[in-house]
Amino acid sequence: MYSPSVSSEEEERMFTSDEDDENNNLNEEQEEILNEHIEYHEEMKSLMENVLEVAQRRGIEAARSLPKDKPKKPERTVESLFSVEKAGPTEAQTNAYLESRRPNSTQPSAGRLPAVVAIPETWEAAATCIKVVNATIDRSQLLEKRVGLVSERIGPNFEKKMSNALKADRVIHRVTFNPNSASPGEVLRVPVPKLDNGVVLVPGSLALVFHLTVSGPANNFLVNNVARALVDRLTLKFAGEILQDTDGYDLFKLWDDLFLTENERANMFREGIQSEDLSKIRCNAGDKKTSGVNNENKLNEVYRNIYRIPLDHDILKDHGVFFPRALSDELLFELRLAPADSVVKGSDSTKLYYKLTNIQLEYEVIHSQKLADEALSNYKNGKRFMYEHITHLKTISIDKGSDTIINESINVPRRSMKGLLLLFYGTYTAGTRISEKTFKPNITDVKLTVDGIPNNIYSQGM
């Protein structure tokens, strides 16, 4: 429904015109209600305008310090004007009447006309006063809303667009590694680069990149997730002290990578997580598919036989940027390459071989003196590097058909342990390894004792 607006001239006429005495003969109660509301909202408008003006001239803090004593809101509502006995029309009737008085308006239908014409002139004045009050309310509420935004919108520190990250140069480096090639069983010693002052290492970016070739029978190819399968022992040293020494490192990381999300695994071609068809194509195996592998051929054009071993230890990955120059000594990785029968699949177990060539050390850095200074300050104040020390304790053989109970004693020289992990692998002949396959031995009960005393939590078994 159309609501006629009130111009400033009409508003002024309502309070100053000589016609007020003739047409605006409201009773005392109506006059009181109107005056209460007009006075209240005019005071609210003045209060809000004052706060806004102070905020603009003297700042938001000055505006906040102003007294916030608001005028008392009238108890009687404007709508009570329509409930006066005898002569009071409904709001719909009032709007219809005002609509009929609007210039160029469509006259009311015959059904509404009697109700409209029955409204005395006094109620035109009453309805117009209500519109004036409503306009005043709208202005005061708008000002109140604007004042509520003072601290956010007109404060001197306000910015609609804000930077949520550090802006600095990021660079990926690939440095020729010495030695430039490696074969099964060899140990690669990889020092974390010292970098320049003001340069920090991006977490999780350190890796060895290389060309991986297989030789022997033409159909030989690589196991899945070959980057993990290649390293069967990892040792981490700082200043000659061993921080971690994990034999069977490939077994743990192959299992650990199974918990990556599907999307993460789908983008790890450089690590060798791929289908058998793609593995054969990248190895140029003699029995590779030649049809129905368009996607694999496109991926091969990009990645070819280039693979990557991530050096994603917790120390470098889970503690923010790493600032090697702040360390007094060298952080060193030692990687022992796995035997060929753990990496290569083929029909002849005596002719399995692989080689790493064109080895490069890859890492990403950020050039930022600010980050470097913050990292240096943290190191000087005693930064802690928390990581999981993984120990491959032992390998035992069991017969799934006859061994029904396994008794094992765990004696590790550690002050505490996070947990025990039992991985069950089936035996395989050389050249047939399924690198990510384990089996479930159908364990029905586990009992745990510490120094011969049953564990309090698992005294009745797990």
pLDDT over threshold 90, residue 344: yes
pTM of the entire structure? 0.64
Supply the CATH classification number for the domain 169-381.
Answer: 2.70.9.10
User: What is the pLDDT, as a whole number, of residue 77?
Assistant: 65
Residue whose token pair is 């790890």: 268
User: What is the pLDDT, as a whole number, of residue 236?
Assistant: 96
More confident residue, 68 or 385: 385
pLDDT band at 114 (very low <50, low <70, confident <90, very high): very low
Average pLDDT over residues 117-132: 48
pLDDT in tens, 244-302: 999 999 999 999 999 999 999 999 999 999 999 999 999 999 999 999 999 999 999 99
Partners of residue 335 on adjacent β-strands: 188, 234
pLDDT band at 243 (very low <50, low <70, confident <90, very high): very high
User: What is the pLDDT, as a whole number, of residue 113?
Assistant: 34
pLDDT over threshold 50, residue 13: no
pLDDT over threshold 50, residue 107: no
Average pLDDT over residues 96-114: 47
First to last CA, the chain: 73
User: What is the pLDDT, as a whole number, of residue 270?
Assistant: 97
Please state whether 393 falls in left (phi above 0), alpha (psi between -120 and 50) or beta: alpha
pLDDT band at 105 (very low <50, low <70, confident <90, very high): very low
Task: Tell me the average pLDDT of the chain.
Answer: 79
Q: Could you tell me the two tokens for 192?
A: 């974390």
pLDDT over threshold 50, residue 115: no
Distance from C-alpha of 334 to C-alpha of 245, rounded to nearest angstrom:
9
pLDDT in tens, 140-173: 555 555 444 445 566 666 677 767 677 889 999 9
pLDDT in tens, 386-439: 998 898 888 888 887 788 888 888 888 778 888 888 899 888 899 999 999 988
Amino acid at 397: S
pLDDT over threshold 60, residue 101: no
Distance from C-alpha of 461 to C-alpha of 332, rounded to nearest angstrom:
42
pLDDT in tens, 175-228: 999 999 999 999 999 999 999 999 999 999 999 999 999 999 999 999 999 999
Distance from C-alpha of 15 to C-alpha of 12, rounded to nearest angstrom:
6
User: What is the pLDDT, as a whole number, of residue 303?
Assistant: 96
Per-residue three-class SS string for the chain: CCCCCCCHHHHHHHHHCCCHHHHCCCCHHHHHHHHHHHHHHHHHHHHHHHHHHHHHHHCHHHHHCCCCCCCCCCCCCHHHHHHCCCCCCCHHHHHHHHHHHCCCCCCCCCCCHHHHHCCCHHHHHHHHHHHHHHHHHHHHHHHHHHHHCHHHHHCCCCCCCCCCCCCCEEEEEEEECCCCCECCCCEEEEECCCCCCCEEECCCCCEEEEEEEEECCCCCEECCCHHHHCEEEEEEEECCEEEEEEECHHHHHHHHHHHCCHHHHHCCCCCCCCCHHHHHHHHCCCCCCCCCCHHHHHHHHHHCCEEEEECCCHHHHCCCCECHHHCCCCEEEEEEECCHHHCEECCCCCCCEEEEEEEEEEEEEEECHHHHHHHHHHHHCCCCCCCCCCCCCCCCCCCCCCCCCCCCCCCCCCCCCCCCCCCCCCCCCCCCCCCCCCCCCCCCCCCCEECCEECCCCCCCC
Distance from C-alpha of 268 to C-alpha of 60, rounded to nearest angstrom:
53
- Domains of the chain, by residue range, sit at 169-381
pLDDT band at 123 (very low <50, low <70, confident <90, very high): very low
pLDDT over threshold 50, residue 324: yes
